[in-house]
Structure 1
Amino acid sequence: MAEVTAATPVDAAPPPSTKRERTGWYMYDWANSAFQTTVITVFLGPFLTTVTELAAGCALGADECDGRVSPLGIGIAAGSFYPYLISLSVLLQVFVLPVVGAIADRTPRKKWLLAGFAFLGAFATILFAFVTGDRYLLGGLLFLVANISFGAAFVVSNSFLPQLANPDDRDKVSSRGWALGYLGGGLLLLLNLVAVTLLSQDGNDQRTLDLARWSIVSAGVWWALFTVLPLLWLRDRPVVVTERVGPRGNVLTDGFRQLGGTIRHLKAYPLTLYFLLAFLVFNDGIQTVITLASQYGTEELKLEQDTLIITILIVQFLAFGGALGLGRLAGRIGAWKTVLLSLILWTGVVVAAFWLPAKEPVPFMILGACIGIVLGGSQALSRSLFSQMIPAGKEGEYYGFYEISDKGTSWLGPLAFGLVFQLTNSYRVGIVSLVFFFVVGFFLLLAVPVRRAIVAAGNTPPRVL
């Protein structure tokens, strides 16, 4: 069979996007943020840790638990199971997400690829209804499926961004999507807060555990329901192939072939990869804070579940405004400088978290407000900035690498946190390790010549960086 060349010329302008199409793209942020907020940030850490402690023989509601479980015959502390599980999910994503991105670049029906992973993740989340008693292994398996599907669907979603906005508008479009995501995630969390407040009973720890489980299930229902809107409003675009790829096979084999070619030619875009390295470092710290905040508040600070939920609501709704506000700031001083500023603020947040007093909800809420201000903007602007450095036709593939440390997935942070807890039995000591990720990430990003990286990828830089 003959070699194939571009399905669409590389220098051809993509069809202009409509307001309806961009709104559809924003709505996937609205849909999937329920999983990020309700499941990962608030309920899953304490819920799965409690289920694991039950499997370790600890009494429900016990203040301390030194029990151990043995998944796959490996003995670990019950409190370390969830952080280790997060690290395992990211290790699996290292292999899965770049392949998913490469396939997304090769298929002319990308929104249906988005649908497949989104509905798979939502279904796995809904199945948490069966994680009762001491079924911590079932909970761990469902989390792996849901989190990997979550990341894969977001890779596909992110790859739409360069097709929806020109270089000068991407910061604004990305920030709007992220802001709407925080608003949607916050709304479902508010509904769960009302349910927990009205239905919980003092001294009834089993009822509290059940409410957490059904809150997790509600996120799966929300995720599936609102994914229908982007499927209706987004449109598939022609495939852009920038190089000869050999005989045409199916989408799956062509995707593996494209990924293999890119891995062999990574040195062609060293500045893009250097930015990606900086992002993987500092965003690993961000995601660790997000993922383990509720576990830190519950286990170390001894805060009640309603305090944690109120704090996350503060984070969500302030992140809505923060994403839009930092997006406007990026329009004035540039996305690169704005992200650097946010990393300085993140460092201060982690240092302050170490000194938080136990059983005092107000300082924890104030810290949550600070997180909300910088959270949405740092993530949205990193996404749009990276889109400028991606070669045409490889958006999904590069976002596959990007997503390894984005939207609820991190690797080294939870691993370091879990190891420190294993050695010291103190979550407070573990939080100190996260300063490393923000400081190193800051200096790595500072060293990236962003404008040169954009030009080297064959793209036109925005007016302000």
Structure 2
Amino acid sequence: MDTVAREGPAEPPEGTGTEPANSAGGSGSSPEAEAAERRERRREQRGWYVYDWANSVFATSVLTVFLGPYLTQVTEAAAGPDGYVHPLGIPVRAGSFFPYAVSASVLLSVLVMPLAAAVADRTGRKKPLLGAAAYLGAAATTGMFFLDGDRYLLGGALLIVANVSFAVSSVLYNAFLPQIAGPEERDAVSSRGWAAGYAAGALVLVVDLGLFLGHDALGLTQGTAVRICLAGAGLWWGLFTVVPLLRLRERPVAGAAARDAAAPMRVTEGFRQLTTTLRELRRYPLTLLFLVAYLLYNDGVQTVITQASVFGSKALGLDQTTLIGAVLLVQVLAVAGALLLGRLADRYGARRTILGSLVAWTATVAAGYVLPHGEPVWFYALAAAIGLVLGGSQALSRSLFSRLVPAGKEAEYFALYEVSDRGTSWLGPLLFGAAYQLTGDYRHAIGSLVVFFVLGFVLLLRVPVERAAAAAGNPAGAAGTTGDGEDGPAPVRMSGSI
């Protein structure tokens, strides 16, 4: 495969909205115009942070804490004496309905995200699409208030709509990052966004837990309290989405993209665009190498998050209150962790900071293998370590990837980022489940996840960020901070076809 860097202009094409933040107004602009542009950019960035604040509550309160157990309870109420329900005539064990619904939502989002990204890049109208996805998801989440009795099919349908909308809106939201922040500030901006999301998740989860634990004193049933928490997450999502929709600006498309925007858009266009993007990645082997590294270590991250409660319950014998408290601790410390790693990236570079976080992840997972049974304090210590590296590793991965994306194709490449993430999210749980099946020990299962962090570390070590950014046609210095330049091994020469 050809590894020669694509030749590109010294500056991004005019009108793409990806001009470096430090060049606002251009060389001929007056100081007053440059100051006004900086103020407007800061205003956009603050509005952009608010969408993380808005939608992260869905991920925390709905997906992580309340919906799984409650929807399973509703499904069990609808099940026959044999413990099965029959959606679309298919026999499904009641306890499997929630994970199957999550899997269906992931599969559907993989199909929908490329179409939304193609429309966004061709028309330059990311904001209306973001608003449509956000409010559809918020409405579906709010509708979970009516999930009671044996309405498990309603719960599954609302979960699928909400989770697909969440995924699509995340693609469009991430695609704004290269437009509102220059390369030198992208790590900090991305980290602040993640921190805002974790702060909102922690704040709402505290309120939700107060309502859940005190439902008797408030004259509510436990089910009613859960439904209020679910609906409240939807209302929160919808309310705060107003802010980014008011503050973010559209950037007009230019050149070929503008001509394409006038052509009719077919449903298959998104999938053709995804195929084209995959083929185009052969021209950017270093961007592809980073993406593969990210998929590996992020799969490890996601598996630790989703399986930590099972590990704590089955391997360590901890009760539900302890597990929920650990989730809350992760949310609180992830705020500080995202900001801390953002500052470290300013000093040492995003790549080196992510590499350091992967070392910490490896040590944390290894420590989980030897945690004593029935000792909540050690599980809380593990949760604290996870919280400190969780937000930062995710935020810096997002900002680093944004530097390796060709100008004008932000939504297209971030759709690939999300599609690839969701498309491989079964690898970690598969290894976790296989390790448990072979050994019968959850400690071996959690320990097996070390392989994702080690492989991700090795591949990321081989990505020289300055060279990768230049190969994608971004300006010299677009990789940003000290430590992410040409240091490290030479790039891997990749061959074969995508």
Q: 1:297 to 1:199 in 2, by over 3 A?
A: farther
**Partners of 1:350 and 1:432 within 8 A in 2:** yes
**Aligned pair 1:365/2:361, yes or no?**
no
Aligned to 1:375: 390
Aligned to 2:175: 159
Query: What amino acid sits opposite 2:480 in the alignment?
Result: P
Aligned 1:311-460 pairs, distance under 5 A: 311-357=326-372, 359-404=374-419, 410-417=425-432, 430-460=445-475
Question: Which shifted more, 287-296 or 211-220?
Answer: 287-296
Q: List gaps (5 residues or longer) in structure 1.
A: 1-5, 59-65
Q: 1:100 to 1:93 in 2, by over 3 A?
A: same
Q: 1:96 to 1:430 in 2, by over 3 A?
A: farther
Deviation at 1:406, TM superposition (A): 5.7
Q: 1:420 to 1:207 in 2, by over 3 A?
A: farther
Q: 1:415 to 1:132 in 2, by over 3 A?
A: farther
**Partners of 1:294 and 1:308 within 8 A in 2:** yes
Deviation at 1:143, TM superposition (A): 1.7
Counting matched residue pairs gives 450
Deviation at 1:86, TM superposition (A): 3.4
**Partners of 2:114 and 2:271 within 8 A in 1:** no
Query: What amino acid sits opposite 1:399 in the alignment?
Result: F
Q: Of 66, 75, 82, which aligns to 1:43?
A: 66
Aligned 1:45-444 pairs, distance under 5 A: 45-55=68-78, 78-199=94-215, 207-240=221-254, 248-250=262-264, 258-297=273-312, 301=316, 303-357=318-372, 359-404=374-419, 410-417=425-432, 430-444=445-459
Aligned to 2:495: none
Question: What is the percent sequence identity of the aligned residues?
Answer: 56
Q: 1:427 to 1:123 in 2, by over 3 A?
A: farther
Deviation at 1:331, TM superposition (A): 1.0
Query: What amino acid sits opposite 1:234 in the alignment?
Result: L
- CA-to-partner distance for each residue in 1:55-101, whole Å, 9 max, x for gaps? 5569xxxxxxx956665566666555444443443333322222222
Q: Of 49, 52, 58, which aligns to 1:29?
A: 52
Query: What amino acid sits opposite 1:29 in the alignment?
Result: D
Deviation at 1:244, TM superposition (A): 8.8
Q: 1:382 to 1:153 in 2, by over 3 A?
A: same
Query: What SS class does the counterpart of residue 341 from structure 1 fall into?
Result: helix
Aligned counterparts of 2:435 and 2:288: Cα–Cα separation in 1: 30
**Partners of 1:83 and 1:418 within 8 A in 2:** no
**Partners of 1:43 and 1:294 within 8 A in 2:** no
Q: 1:101 to 1:425 in 2, by over 3 A?
A: farther
Aligned counterparts of 2:366 and 2:298: Cα–Cα separation in 1: 17
Query: What SS class does the counterpart of residue 344 from structure 1 fall into?
Result: helix
Aligned counterparts of 1:85 and 1:358: Cα–Cα separation in 2: 33
**Partners of 1:114 and 1:153 within 8 A in 2:** yes
- CA-to-partner distance for each residue in 1:297-343, whole Å, 9 max, x for gaps? 45665544433332222111211111110111111111111111111
Q: 1:286 to 1:229 in 2, by over 3 A?
A: same
Aligned counterparts of 1:316 and 1:7: Cα–Cα separation in 2: 39
**Partners of 2:333 and 2:384 within 8 A in 1:** yes
- CA-to-partner distance for each residue in 1:81-139, whole Å, 9 max, x for gaps? 44444344333332222222222212233211111001111111122223324444432
Query: What amino acid sits opposite 2:301 in the alignment?
Result: I
Deviation at 1:28, TM superposition (A): 0.3
Query: What SS class does the counterpart of residue 217 from structure 1 fall into?
Result: helix
- CA-to-partner distance for each residue in 1:349-378, whole Å, 9 max, x for gaps? 233334445554322222111111001100
Q: 1:434 to 1:30 in 2, by over 3 A?
A: same
Q: 1:311 to 1:157 in 2, by over 3 A?
A: same
Aligned to 1:62: none
Q: List gaps (5 residues or longer) in structure 2.
A: 1-11, 25-36, 485-498
Question: Which shifted more, 217-226 or 149-158?
Answer: 217-226
Q: 1:172 to 1:130 in 2, by over 3 A?
A: same
**Partners of 1:7 and 1:238 within 8 A in 2:** no
Question: Which shifted more, 143-152 or 425-434?
Answer: 425-434
Aligned counterparts of 1:305 and 1:20: Cα–Cα separation in 2: 42
Deviation at 1:412, TM superposition (A): 2.4
**Partners of 1:200 and 1:211 within 8 A in 2:** no
**Partners of 1:94 and 1:401 within 8 A in 2:** no
Q: CA RMSD in A?
A: 3.4
Which protein has the larger Cα radius of gyration, Structure 1 or Structure 2?
A: 2
Query: What amino acid sits opposite 2:367 in the alignment?
Result: A
